[in-house]
Structure 1
């Protein structure tokens, strides 16, 4: 059985948080996509950033990616591949919009699977109910802050009901195929059931351990090699099972060896979820960091010019460095309200433009950059660093990826950049990553 190319359309750049060594593409012209298809690593990611976009723009971007991907597949002669729409493990994102567009452009598919388990982040699915582990206890995800998201909120963590809610009844809960833990652990019956799926039926998949996903993926790959076509809407852990990569070359605790020569790095925090705020609070207790707040409310309420805020932040960065401290740049933590979801998304893009202008003008001799938040990290790669592609090195803690800019980058050559999702890790996670990159180590120059 040949190994298919795993093509991931990622709605923010954190879906690669369980794999390593592959390419992340921030552009989707045909030639860039051909690079991904031709790469020797069996998986690559197209960073669409659609979670940050209104529905109509997300649909347009997904459609354009699919059409260019179809051309690249034809040009490279790729015949064996699997499409994954990677999204949030707490069920936020443009579903079913993105899978509908992918099915229309790249289908037909025999089934599309929802596999939201993200084991490294404490998200599991049992009896089709999706849970977030909180202090060791499973909490139905509809009872968490994520279900109250002002753009992507929902009322159900029982996945068939979630599907019915999000499709507005087009796919009733009774029509959703359920693959329970017991089903995954009966290989022969699982193969037979997968082989009988047709008509782009919706299916939801349980997982409590990586072994569950490994068994499911092995069956999927076998059936797909016999001609079945499946589409996946998943969190990151399924990708580990599909790609079947060996362990990452550099252990997480040794990631500081990728740091460039120099005295200091920088931390950028954009995410506003509660977990990020708790992690930021813990980091700011460190004596050798220098807090720099970006007052986003002033952008909304006082009409202050973006240039004024950017200049003030960069001056504070210079002050931090002069004092021998690490600048920690973060958006103000107060909860802002908006008239509607499009207004909130538009304001978020404005804030991101300010942050990216800051990134562009950070000192050129940074040792490393830690970017906290999925949308923030996407913009760091595609706008702040202006990268078309970047190679993933691996993870520094579970669920937290490290990439490195190319040697010919005009301002930040071979800079390690941490892509830290907003909702990953315990209270100490950001401080742990900071200490790992501040630690000593001999640089790796390849």
Structure 2
């Protein structure tokens, strides 16, 4: 029997683990921590780099540092059989090709890198190399959605070879990209995979999990025969590569993880349209009380005013908790206008810093924590809860992971924490998640 390669995922926000379970999420990347991941029994582990919240220059530095340490850790553990995944957003937002270029330089060479953006739980499929988002049952090319107009990561094409040419500034031409379309995948791709060399750029279709299961089986066979592959993907290919089976506790039974049946807390940072819609639903649910934080004040506030904003928020949170209800702390919803990308990113960091101060100040006996937004969730794990590593329990609804803090955590031992991406779930998904934790 061939040993499976270790699957090493550099995740640009902490939600890429949304289709797997029972593995480690690492928020640090010193060599000792990376060796924890490499030694773990699970075939897959995640390094939460949070690079989507950074500038391209910062993302380059972080990715290089991770890969430099990863190379040392791989050598120390004597591991030569591995796959590297640069996990990013299923709507094509993120630092491509910045991250895959650095990974290839540091831990390559690779025979190919594959773009696999399909994410079935979120309604993202790829057909004839065109990436779609299913909106109200209708497959919509992603370049026609709000995500393509993102102020940091905008793009013009849903046809992936053209997307590659645009993003690589024509370094990789559209017609030089290898296309694995549904027909190829379903017939078997092993022979083609064996012939790939020189970090060939490939784009991969997928309409359902069975497509990626078939493709992943061929990938693993080729890897066992000595091919080295790199991926730029969403979460669904990870399900197929890791092949972990069913999670230990079913989504509907997650209430058993809640600490002493106590009310929890919800932190909402994401401001995409879907999040706002989900927040509106949640605020109507019995047992929920909203706490709005007017982040516009952070544009020009002094340290004293910021301190007041924090103290007033935490006072309200404590009162709600003492009344046996769950506070929902959410940032004000209006879309602010910034003079440039750097100003927008820096404002995002200021908002996050405030939210993390709120997380640290939550009542120590909360039963659970729900974190809404990809970058918010990353910051909750790495900064708010100061975790080096967390064990992934599984998903509470499709696409939303639950992790648990270790039993020696100084603030919140054994606390279940939901990592809820901004753009996942239907209108009542946030309410459903809360209700699963509070089910008697």
TM-score, normalised via structure 2 length:
0.98
Name the counterpart of 1:365: 365
For the Cα contact (< 8 Å) 2:16–2:88, is it kept in 1? Answer: yes
Alpha-carbon distance in structure 2 between the residues aligned to 1:306 and 1:35? 38
For the Cα contact (< 8 Å) 2:121–2:399, is it kept in 1? Answer: yes
Name the counterpart of 2:94: 93
For the Cα contact (< 8 Å) 1:252–1:396, is it kept in 2? Answer: yes
Alpha-carbon distance in structure 1 between the residues aligned to 2:21 and 2:318? 34
Name the counterpart of 1:444: none
Name the counterpart of 2:256: 257
Alpha-carbon distance in structure 2 between the residues aligned to 1:288 and 1:245? 36
Instruction: Using the TM superposition, give the Cα deviation of residue 173 of structure 1 relative to its aligned residue in structure 2, in angstroms.
Output: 0.5
Instruction: Using the TM superposition, give the Cα deviation of residue 430 of structure 1 relative to its aligned residue in structure 2, in angstroms.
Output: 0.3
* Residue correspondence of structure 1 range 64-143 to structure 2 within 5 A: 64-143=65-144
Tell me, yes or no, if structure 1 residue 54 matches structure 2 residue 67.
Answer: no
Structure 1 spans left out of the alignment, 5+ residues:
441-446
Name the counterpart of 2:179: 178
Alpha-carbon distance in structure 2 between the residues aligned to 1:163 and 1:263? 48
Name the counterpart of 1:338: 338
* Residue correspondence of structure 1 range 404-423 to structure 2 within 5 A: 404-423=404-423
SS at match of 1:261: helix
Alpha-carbon distance in structure 2 between the residues aligned to 1:45 and 1:201? 24
Instruction: Using the TM superposition, give the Cα deviation of residue 125 of structure 1 relative to its aligned residue in structure 2, in angstroms.
Output: 0.2
* Residue correspondence of structure 1 range 227-242 to structure 2 within 5 A: 227-242=226-241
Name the counterpart of 2:294: 295
For the Cα contact (< 8 Å) 1:262–1:365, is it kept in 2? Answer: no
Which digits, 9 at most, give the CA deviation of each residue in 1:82-122, with x for residues without a partner?
10000000000000000000011011111100000000110
Which digits, 9 at most, give the CA deviation of each residue in 1:212-232, with x for residues without a partner?
000000000001111111100
Name the counterpart of 1:312: 312
Name the counterpart of 2:206: 207
Name the counterpart of 2:192: 193
SS at match of 2:231: strand
SS at match of 1:291: strand
For the Cα contact (< 8 Å) 1:194–1:220, is it kept in 2? Answer: yes
Alpha-carbon distance in structure 2 between the residues aligned to 1:313 and 1:303? 17
Which digits, 9 at most, give the CA deviation of each residue in 1:315-359, with x for residues without a partner?
110221233321000000000111111111111001100000000
Name the counterpart of 1:245: 244
Alpha-carbon distance in structure 2 between the residues aligned to 1:114 and 1:263? 43
Which digits, 9 at most, give the CA deviation of each residue in 1:35-64, with x for residues without a partner?
000000100000000000111110000000
Alpha-carbon distance in structure 2 between the residues aligned to 1:117 and 1:329? 32
Name the counterpart of 2:378: 378
Structure 2 spans left out of the alignment, 5+ residues:
none
TM-score, normalised via structure 1 length:
0.97
Tell me, yes or no, if structure 1 residue 14 matches structure 2 residue 15.
Answer: yes
Name the counterpart of 1:443: none
Instruction: Using the TM superposition, give the Cα deviation of residue 185 of structure 1 relative to its aligned residue in structure 2, in angstroms.
Output: 1.0
Corresponding residue pairs, total:
438
Instruction: Using the TM superposition, give the Cα deviation of residue 174 of structure 1 relative to its aligned residue in structure 2, in angstroms.
Output: 0.6
Which digits, 9 at most, give the CA deviation of each residue in 1:148-182, with x for residues without a partner?
10000111111011001111111111111110000
SS at match of 2:72: helix
For the Cα contact (< 8 Å) 1:262–1:366, is it kept in 2? Answer: no
Name the counterpart of 1:270: 269
Name the counterpart of 2:162: 161
Alpha-carbon distance in structure 1 between the residues aligned to 2:86 and 2:287? 40
SS at match of 2:291: strand
Instruction: Using the TM superposition, give the Cα deviation of residue 301 of structure 1 relative to its aligned residue in structure 2, in angstroms.
Output: 4.3
SS at match of 2:316: helix
Q: CA RMSD in A?
A: 0.9
Instruction: Using the TM superposition, give the Cα deviation of residue 262 of structure 1 relative to its aligned residue in structure 2, in angstroms.
Output: 4.5
For the Cα contact (< 8 Å) 2:255–2:439, is it kept in 1? Answer: yes
For the Cα contact (< 8 Å) 2:370–2:420, is it kept in 1? Answer: yes
